[in-house]
Amino acid sequence: MESSPLTQQSRPEIFKPKVVQLYEKLFQTTDYTEPSEGFWREFFLLPPDRAQLHAVLEQLSPDDTLTLQNQTQQLFARAIREAGSGPNPVNSYALETLTVFLACVLKKKYTNPSSDVITVLAGLDDVDHVISNFVAVLDTVIRNGSSLDLRIKGVRVATAMASGAYKTSLVSYFTHRDLFPSLMKLVQDSETPLQVFEPFLLLGLLANYNKFEFQNPYQLRLDDFVNEASIQKIVKGVGLSCGALRNGYVAVQDDSPEGWNLISTLLFFGLGVLTSGKKGRTSPPSAEEAKEIFAQLPAKQAAILLATYDFTNANKLFGYHLVTAAPEKENEESPFASFLSLTSYLLHHAYRSPRVGQYAELNLFVLRILTEDSNLCKQLCSEDTKRKIRLCRQRQPYLPAVTGERVLATAIFDIVIDTLSHNLRRRLDVNLYSQSIAILLRLFTYLSMNKIRLTYHWSELWRTLLSLMRFLTTYASDLTSHPHIETLTTTLVDLVAFCVSSGDTFLPDPTSYDDLFYKLVETGPIIVKFRDVFSLKGPSTAKITDPTPPKNVHVAAIDTLISVSSHFNTLLFNTDPHSKGDDASAEAAPIPATQKKNLSPREVHKIIKQGYDTLSIQPPDGLSAWTRWRETDWKPDLKRVARCAVDDARDLVS
């Protein structure tokens, strides 16, 4: 019997999918042979294994990747070709391969980032042709792809390039060919709010690319965009994303106040962070585990907040729909309610990391822009746009819980109070506090101008503002060197002085006004110290030729506070802090505890009410004047948060 020509092969220990073998063959550093046409056809006919391709590329060092430039250039060029002209599902497989490939090779730390990346992708001689063609193919796919799924995959490839090559010149090719119409067409064709997320995220990255160095075309597009149907879809997508990001915090610590019955979406980002590889986990995390998880939140999808800021800043119509959009169903959150809710959680935890602090400050920028527009401020202060808003209650002290619908401005008041209360530390985030006080000043000036009286727990607000003044006075030596500390201290003084002089125009009842004056009496000595340590004093002498020298508005504001405190201190406790005729006496004039105990609340109220008759307040002109938002004033902060969003977007696509 003749022996068979067939020989039995030993069974391999591990079966590798064919596509993985192709990955390894393409990127082997030794015994490399030029891929044939059959190799490439097979490569893109097989469904990609994203995890294995990522693993193969991840193990290559930057130098290895440069050594393999022939292979990487061929893969990039062939994938572009298949993505643009290949039949289904080849075009889809090519886009998925491109996403993983770009995410991996662009995040490596090359010696010369810009030139090395160009070498890896196209080579210096062909870069213009290759990258221009790459952007053109993506533009066509995003605009006219055969399915929404394919078009979104095109967006992911663009996001991988924009986020991975953000520090190189390659992103400029996206400004040479405008993707805005294609992205907006995808938004318009979207079937669910979730499908809006990725094109809007990409738009934020492109709109921020070198926007302070040249006229970014995407910024101009945002300014001119008036398609209300698309704007409404974006607003819904932003609301859903904000709700999901907020729910990530709630999943760690459920802080639902009693009586809260809002039925919100169960969607939330960051599940992988919470499970830590343990499926079906039901027990809440320990305090240490919760601390670790909180430090990693919000989820990477928070990068969408960058685009939300840019659209709000550039387009008043977007801001209007963001504020006024109503919930589609009963017991659902409106988009702006979700935005405010997420903002509350971000600001509650802003002290945990620079990243969460930057996103929190970005949302404060949005609120400041909204409150500076009188038409939008009208909506924020109107009974017609009352909403149910879930605010963070994960750390004490707690504000009174409001479970029903409320005026939007009062929710913003609560967010600001929590911000001021929960982020106090010696290394104070001065910018965060400056924006918070600025938002209050803008809202109060609008309320006063329009005689709008809101029901609110005003005593909590007065207590928080004056506690901040006390904190700043106590730790002045740690804060005086901060470049924006003067902005914070002067705005705080102006705000309190404005409430003293104009509170009768927006406070709902005399009790709220009386409480402010009484708290000023209690804080009197601190106000004097505050004035001294932050140099809020006028000139000691005036020139003979100028008998009435102009007085700095901030100096006049704090003088008003000291005068009011002194006036009521005298009436309540027969103590004149200025009896010795100098400032030192005011500093040494605390409220006598024994006398204070002898006065009942009714008696205090009565004396303060009588004291109004003899009180002479001469508020300085300019307390209600504030500087409008200008991006260039906060350029370093916006650049930092843009880099943060770019990093998060890169992590998302990889």
> What DSSP string runs through 595-609?
HHHT--HHHHHHHHH
Q: Where do we find the tokens 């006063």?
A: 448
Q: Please state, in angstroms and rounded to a whole number, the distance separating the CA atoms of residues 370 and 233.
A: 20
Instruction: Give me the count of residues in the chain.
Output: 654
Measured in whole angstroms, the distance separating CA 275 from the mean position of its chain's CA atoms is 25
CA nearest neighbour of 393 among 347, 439, 428 = 347
pLDDT of residue 190: 94
Single pTM value for the model? 0.89
How many Å is the maximal CA-CA distance in the chain? 130
Residues of the chain with pLDDT under 70: 1-15, 31-32, 258-268, 270-282, 537-551, 567-620
Q: Please state, in angstroms and rounded to a whole number, the distance separating the CA atoms of residues 447 and 441.
A: 10
Q: Please state, in angstroms and rounded to a whole number, the distance separating the CA atoms of residues 572 and 592.
A: 10
**Six-digit token pair at 282?**
């039901």
pLDDT of residue 332: 86
CA nearest neighbour of 417 among 388, 431, 397 = 397
pLDDT of residue 178: 93
Radius of gyration of the chain (CA): 30
pLDDT of residue 257: 72
In contact, 117 and 165? CB cutoff 8 Å: yes
Q: Please state, in angstroms and rounded to a whole number, the distance separating the CA atoms of residues 250 and 273.
A: 13
Rounded to 5°, angle at Cα 571 from 566 and 572: 100
pLDDT in tens, 507-529: 999 888 888 888 888 888 898 89
In contact, 319 and 370? CB cutoff 8 Å: yes
In contact, 348 and 395? CB cutoff 8 Å: yes
CA atoms within 13 A on the CB side of 27: 25
